[in-house]
Structures are given as C-alpha cells and as structure tokens.
C-alpha cells in the first residue's frame, strides 16, 4: 500500500457517502417513529430457528422469515432490542429501511397507421392472411360432420366460406385477431350471400368475443327468402383486445341441400399502434435476433413493483406461454396470472425493456432485448414505489429457493439504496450475494445520484454482481458521435475501493410499456403516449437492457457461469473515447464502456477476468472480506493501484464531470493492465478518501 494512505473508522467512511435519492426506485431511510411501541427490525444470527427463538423469548413478533440471511423481520420495542443485543444467538440488529420511488421522464411519439387483417378465401385453406397483419390463428371450425376447408358443413368453395347446418345446430366457425389495448377505431366488414333454398326459418348469427370465450351477438341474419346479397360494416372498437374473436354460427336450420350462407372478404381494419424502440439496435441485440438468439428458454426474474396483466408479459412472439410465476413478497403469497397488477408502472416498464415481444412499425424489429425470455415476477414494491428491506429480502429468498424450479438464470434489480455499512454487513447485500453464489446472474442499478464520485448504491456496491450505469443517445439513435454519459448516473468508486459501475447501457429517454392508469403515468401524463407506452430515464432502464443481454448470452451458451457472463460483458463493452484516443470518461463513470450484445455473445474466447481474488462463500461466512484497487491521493484524484499499491497510468480522475459531444464507442481499446481492477484482495481498511 502507498504511504499516503491511512486507515479510517467505519463511521467516517460511511459519512463520506453522498445521500442517494434514486429517480426511479431509491431506498431512503426514514426516521423511526418517536412514540411507536414497536419498530420493524431485521435480526440476524447463527441460524433462522435460533433467531426466531431469540425474538420470541423477549416477546417480539416475527413478521418475515428470511432463511437466505439467517434472520427474521420482527416487531420489537426498544427494550426488547436491548435484550436481543445481549443474546448469543443474535449477531446483528438493523432498522428495516423504507423504500420510495420517483421518476424522470421525457416524451416521445409513436406511429399509428391503419392496419388490416383480411381473408379472401382464395384457396381452400383456413390459414390465409390477405391483410397488412396476420390473424392470430386459423379459422376454428366446430362441425360434427367433419373438419377442414374441404369437408363437413363448413367449407371453402369457389373462393368463399360456405356454411351449412345440421339437426343439432352445432355448426360454427371463428377466427381471432390480436389488436392490443387502447385501439381508437376498429371496423369489421364482409360480404355475404344466401343460396336459393334459404327461407324464413333459416338463421345465421354473427358473434364477437373480446376474450375469445364469452360471445356477444352483432347481428342475426334471418327472415331471408331465396338468394340475397349484401355487405356489412360494424364498429367493434369496444371489443378490441389481444384475444378478439369473431364467429359465424348456424343459429337455426340451414339443413336442406340448397340452403347455404356464403361469406367473403372478411376484414378487420384498426389503427395500428406499434411503437419503435431503439435500444435493441443500439446494443446489437437486433442482430442476434436475426440469428435466432432471442432469450428462448432462459428465465429472467424481475424484482420490482409487479407487472400489468398484458399479453406482452404472458406470451412469447409465437404465442406460447412464458410467464412462469408471480410472487408477492409484500403479502407473502404466489399470485395467479389474473392477480398480476402494477399500480406503480415501474415494474412493467423495466420488464418490457427486457422482453417486449412486440415488433416495431419500422422493419419488424423486436421492441425488447430478449423477446422470447421466460419471466418470473417478484413484487416487493407498492403502488407508490414504497417498500422495505424486509420485503425485498423476502423476495430474494423466494427467487433463490425457486431458481431450479423455474430455471431462473438472471435476476434484475432496478433499484438502489443508500449504503449504511460496508457491503458485506448489509443484509440486503448478503441476500444478493446468496443469489450470485447460487448461480444466478444478478444485474443491479448503479443509482441515479450522479455525477459525483462514490454515489453507487446498494446492492450495486457489491463487487461480485454486474452494476450498470446509464448513457443517452442524445435523441439520435443512429449517430453515436453525440452520445453522452447520463448526468444522473451514479459513479464509483465504492468505499471499499471497487470500480463501479461495471459498464453502461442505454438509460436515457427509454420507451417501454406502462399502463396509463399507473401512478407514474398519471403523475407525468406528458410522457405517456395515451396508449400503453411511457418514456423514462434512469439506471433502472439501463439495468433492464443488460439483464436482457445476459439472457441472450445464456441462450447462446447455457453453460456460462455468472462470473463468465460478467467477464464477457466487460471485455466486449465499447469504452467512450475522445479524438486523441483517450478515455472520454473515467472508468469510475463508464466502467468498461457501453454494452455490446453481439460481441458479448460471440466473444467466446474471452478470458475469465471478473471477480478474481474474491470469494463469495468466504464473504458470506464472514471469514474474509475484500477491497478493490481504487484509491484517492491527497490531491483528491482517484486512481487505480497495482499489486504494490502504486498508481497505474491512465486511470486518474479528479471527480469532475463534463458533457462531451465528440467521442465514440471504441470496440478495440486496449486496457492498461487488462481488467485487473475488477478483482480484489483481502480487506485491510487502508484507503485514503479525501474530504
């Protein structure tokens, strides 16, 4: 270690941390009630059962059982807390900190042209598509006399759909279209003709179901004698959903040989709402989609405010189920699909970034990073973004316990909390380390309290996991020359000397799904498109991008470990460079650089450089803790130390921030000394933090 360093007390180091107020999901401690009989406390010890017994022995009430950290949440009076501090089964008591959320948003418009689904029955097929969009499925025939376009009572004959009845009046045929929500106009049109034998006793019923199950009548075609021709137009806007189904049904008779009802040119015209997101293209994910790498069969768990019960989260692009489970950590119960809700909007937004399966209005590109990924949702924050350490830890406990059942490979944590201790002493961090140790790739937000140094929050201050900062394309997604590091993005180093963030990703003015009636959208209506999309900025959004990229990597190579995923992400990232070939931003601001999904997947020979010298098992056991290679000299400059404690050239940073409009993301930069600064060594407390 260099001679200008001095050991500092733990309390002094903590005092140097700048208070975090995360713009999206920021945990902030609140003052304990002055006159409260009991307080919510996190109690940890040698084992879960011993801690439970200790709490009950002093008359406390256990509210949360947290096996993942050998602890519980409990309601305790100050006197009970004092008793527990002297209990040999208890190692630590900590306040159950509260969580709040706020937003930062910018507006963006989307296109709404008219679209059509249409069938002209030009071939003997139930699967034809003659419109600008495809029907959701083929015609579904109910017919005891046979099934298919060339047999039975319903057939395609001479370029028209022909219906005929039977004695049981069970003949029907229907087809579905997925139009989405918030459609402003939708019209159904078709041509019809009756055969010469039709009489007043014959009846055809046209029906519609918004859910594909419960039908409502649109019109009854009866009291027709002989041949009749016509066309119809219906306003079906009120029935538009992702499961809208129209059906023609024989209501009575049509059983004689010359009694037929013909249908042709069936069309639904509606205003097509297909927003275009840019971050899949900017990160290279779109190129991977073209190769069939889309996150298929990889499960991403999102711990946030929940999700809306939208088809976007229920189905993959091929309409196969992909929502595997939702766990409500606040209520401590697993939810059914229909119980899903997100009254905040934040959880839906980040989940949409990860896995939105819809395609854009431009070139049919997917709007999400990993559109085929499976989803597990953990709800730990309420409608106003409020939550607690205890609920978050309980959610993490559930994820680790169910990782094998749902094949959870990636965990997205788009929130950040002000550090209250060294990383290893924080119970939320301990739970996150358990997830990493269990083989889950954990991706967390750096925080939105930049640009000052040492503002990385919990759990992003963990050296093991992938911590993500935010950049912005400056509203020119096709021009990287004016990209900027987001001014709100939190920066390192951590108080333990680790370089953070690990990399940056798109996090400025990000368009993703959010329902109009959520708390965020109603508070900021100017940033909602009045349909289903909202534009928001933050490291929460950047984190979701990287979680999606991790899912792509794990589909391409399921054998990757969390350390290998982190290594490939960092070695394939493109650092921001200026015209002189120097770093445009410090590594404490941009980490390894801008995420590049394509290179991360195809960088197969990347060496394992992440977390060298660290031992998560020892950290959790308390037998060893670790420090990073960042330090600060007496002049206030941050720098990286080599193995002898000397400063390495090229990494000095004075803590300043500047907007740079003239740099580029370099994919071929040679890091001085490799990525050794991502590793660590045994903690000795010898860091000099000036200030």
Per-residue H/E/C for 308-366 = CCCHHHHECCCCCECEEEEEECCCCEEECHHHCCCCCCHHHHHHHHHHCCCECCCCCCE
Is 346 tagged catalytic?
A: yes
Partners of 243 in the β-ladder? none
Which residue has tokens 């600060």?
Answer: 632
Which one of 164, 278, 346, 574 is the catalytic residue? Answer: 346
Q: Token pair of 689, please? A: 């933090």
Helix (H), strand (E) counts: the chain: 16, 36
Beta strand spans in 133-171 (E): 140-142, 154-157, 160-163
d(CA 482, CA 474): 6
Q: What are phi and psi of 294, to 5 degrees?
A: -140, 10
Q: Which three-class secondary structure state does DSSP give residue 83?
A: helix
DSSP letter string, 491-540: ----TTS----SEEEE-SSEEEE--TTSHHHHH-GGGB-SSSEEEE-SHH
Is 540 tagged catalytic?
A: yes
Which one of 143, 153, 202, 304 is the catalytic residue? Answer: 304
Pick the closest to residue 270 from 135, 363, 362, 137 (CA basis): 135
- Which residue intervals of 219-364 are DSSP H helices? 279-282, 285-290, 311-314, 346-355
d(CA 126, CA 175): 9
d(CA 458, CA 378): 18
Q: Token pair of 59, please? A: 């008359």
| Residue-level length of the chain | 691
Q: What are phi and psi of 635, to 5 degrees?
A: -85, -5
Which one of 40, 360, 540, 567 is the catalytic residue? Answer: 540
Burial 528-557 (b: 16+ CB within 10 A, else e): bbebbbbbbbbbbbbbbbbbbbbbbbbbbe
What amino acid positions are annotated as catalytic residues? 304, 346, 540
């Amino acid at each position: 270690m260099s001679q200008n360093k001095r050991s500092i007390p733990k309390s002094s180091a903590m005092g140097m941390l700048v208070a975090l107020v995360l713009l999206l999901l920021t945990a902030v401690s609140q003052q304990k009630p002055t006159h409260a009989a009991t307080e919510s406390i996190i109690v940890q010890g040698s084992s879960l059962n011993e801690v439970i017994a200790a709490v009950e022995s002093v008359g406390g009430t256990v509210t949360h059982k947290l096996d993942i950290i050998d602890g519980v949440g409990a309601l305790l009076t100050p006197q009970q807390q004092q008793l527990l501090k002297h209990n040999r089964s208890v190692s630590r008591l900590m306040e159950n900190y509260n969580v709040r959320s706020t937003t930062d948003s910018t507006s963006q418009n989307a296109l709404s042209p008219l679209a059509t689904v249409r069938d002209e029955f030009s071939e003997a097929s139930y699967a034809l598509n003659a419109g600008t969009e495809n029907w959701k499925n083929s015609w579904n025939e109910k017919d005891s006399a046979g099934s298919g376009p060339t047999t039975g009572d319903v057939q395609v004959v001479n370029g028209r759909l022909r219906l005929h009845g039977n004695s049981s009046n069970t003949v029907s045929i229907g087809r579905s279209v997925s139009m989405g929500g918030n459609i402003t106009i939708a019209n159904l049109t078709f041509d019809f003709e009756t055969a010469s034998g039709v009489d007043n006793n014959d009846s055809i019923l046209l029906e519609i179901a918004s859910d594909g199950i419960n039908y409502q009548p649109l019109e009854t075609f009866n009291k027709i004698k002989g041949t009749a021709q016509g066309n119809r137009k219906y306003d079906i806007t009120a029935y538009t959903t992702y499961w809208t189904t129209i059906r023609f049904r024989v209501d009575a008779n049509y059983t004689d040989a010359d009694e037929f009802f013909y249908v042709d040119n069936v069309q639904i015209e509606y205003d097509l709402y297909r927003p275009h997101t840019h971050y899949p293209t900017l990160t290279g994910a779109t190129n991977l989609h073209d190769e069939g790498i889309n996150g298929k069969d990889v499960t991403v768990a999102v711990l946030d405010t929940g999700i809306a019960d939208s088809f976007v989260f229920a189905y993959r692009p091929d309409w196969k189920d992909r929502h595997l489970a939702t766990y409500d950590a606040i209520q401590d119960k697993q939810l059914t699909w229909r119980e899903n809700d997100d009254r905040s909007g934040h959880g839906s937004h980040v989940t949409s970034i990860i896995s939105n399966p819809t395609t854009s209005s431009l070139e049919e590109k997917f709007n999400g990073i990993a559109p085929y990924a499976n989803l597990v949702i953990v709800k730990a924050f309420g409608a106003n973004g409020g939550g607690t350490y205890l609920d978050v830890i309980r959610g993490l406990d559930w994820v680790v316990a169910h990782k094998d059942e749902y094949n959870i490979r990636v965990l997205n944590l788009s929130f950040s909390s002000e550090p209250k201790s060294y990383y290893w002493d924080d119970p939320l961090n301990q739970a996150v380390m358990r997830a990493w140790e269990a083989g889950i790739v954990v991706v967390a937000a750096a925080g939105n309290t930049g640009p000052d140094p040492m503002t990385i929050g919990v759990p992003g201050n963990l050296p093991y996991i992938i911590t993500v900062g935010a950049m912005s394309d400056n509203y020119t997604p096709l021009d990287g020359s004016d990209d900027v590091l987001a001014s709100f993005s939190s920066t390192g180093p951590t108080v333990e000397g680790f370089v953070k963030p690990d990399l940056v990703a798109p996090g400025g003015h990000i368009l993703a799904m959010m329902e109009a009636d959520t708390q965020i959208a109603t508070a900021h209506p100017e940033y909602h498109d009045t349909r289903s999309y909202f534009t928001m900025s933050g490291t929460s959004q950047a984190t979701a991008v990287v979680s999606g990229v991790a899912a792509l990597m794990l589909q391409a190579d399921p054998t990757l470990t969390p350390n290998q995923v982190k290594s490939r992400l960092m070695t394939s990232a493109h650092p921001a460079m200026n015209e002189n070939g120097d770093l445009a931003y410090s590594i404490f601001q941009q980490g390894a650089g801008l995420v590049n999904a394509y290179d991360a997947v195809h960088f197969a020979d990347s060496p394992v450089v992440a977390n060298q010298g660290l031992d998560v098992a020892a950290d959790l056991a308390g037998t060893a803790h670790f420090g990073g290679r960042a330090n600060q000299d007496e002049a206030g400059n941050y720098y990286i130390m080599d193995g002898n404690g000397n400063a390495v050239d090229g990494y000095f940073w004075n803590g300043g921030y500047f907007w740079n409009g003239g740099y580029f993301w370099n994919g071929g930069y040679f890091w001085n000394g490799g990525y050794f600064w991502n590793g660590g060594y045994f903690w000795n407390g010898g860091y000099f933090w000036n200030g």
